[in-house]
Amino acid sequence: MTFTAFLKATVLGCAASATLLAALALAGAIESGDGLVIPIAAVWWLVAGVSGSMLGRSSAASPAIGRLLADAKLAASLPEVHPARILLNRLWPLLIATVGAGGFVLLAPQVPAMAAGFPVIWALAWRRQEKAVQAIEERDGVRFFIEKTSPIKPIQLIRTPWFKSGMASRRGESDPVSGNGRH
């Protein structure tokens, strides 16, 4: 699985998790008759949305992703691609948190209501990382793939040769890693 596809899937998965938890919280609040859960949660969701938007406002790759890209192993051929396995292997904490928080819907709808804010932050904070990595791939003529690792070990990437694009330098756009250049 390409790293850009994984980043896109992570953002969409976080957004889906937040949506599911918010819907469960709404249903749980209606079922329990607690009229205070949703207004308080809505304020939290707004704070989470603003926080995530502020964290993700840069179009440059985050320092963590920059280090991950720099540490990628070079490979001459494409690795085996198993998207479902890689997504489950890397996003299992999101799945467990979503199911765990959603399980409290009938006992305490506040739990999924508050839990919904965290994937909102994550999704909005990481929403531009896929484009930053894609720009680096086009600039350097490489493609980054996720290496098969243990679910409890840090993610590792493989760098393979790809087609190089000179479009970013001809347009005078900024470097997505350093942010240098014209805007």
Percent of the chain surpassing pLDDT 90: 70
pLDDT digits (tens, 9 = 90+) for 46-61: 999 999 999 999 889 9
CB 157 within 8 A of CB 90: no
pLDDT digits (tens, 9 = 90+) for 2-23: 999 999 999 999 999 999 999 9
- The confidence band for 180, taking pLDDT boundaries of 50, 70 and 90, is low
Domain count for the chain: 1
Percent of the chain surpassing pLDDT 70: 89
CB 142 within 8 A of CB 134: no
Residue 108 inside a domain? The answer is yes
Residue 137 inside a domain? The answer is yes
CB 58 within 8 A of CB 129: no
Residue 166 inside a domain? The answer is yes
CB atoms within 10 A of CB 112: 27
Poorest-confidence range of 65-74, 87-96, 159-168, 174-183? 174-183
CA distance 179 to 156: 24
Residues forming beta bridges with residue 161, ordered by sequence position: 142
Q: Which of 65, 21, 85 is nearest to 156 (CA)?
A: 65
Residue 65 inside a domain? The answer is yes
Q: Which domain holds residue 15?
A: 3-171
Q: What's the 3-state SS for the chain?
A: CEHHHHHHHHHHHHHHHHHHHHHHHHHHHHHHCCCCHHHHHHHHHHHHHHHHHHHCCCCCCCHHHHHHHHCCEECCCCCCCCHHHHHHHHHHHHHHHHHHHHCCCCCCCHHHHHHCHHHHHHHHHCCCHHHHHHHHHHHHCEEEEECCCCCCCCCCEEEEECCCCCHHHHHCCCCCCCCCCCC
Would the pLDDT of 134 be above 80? yes
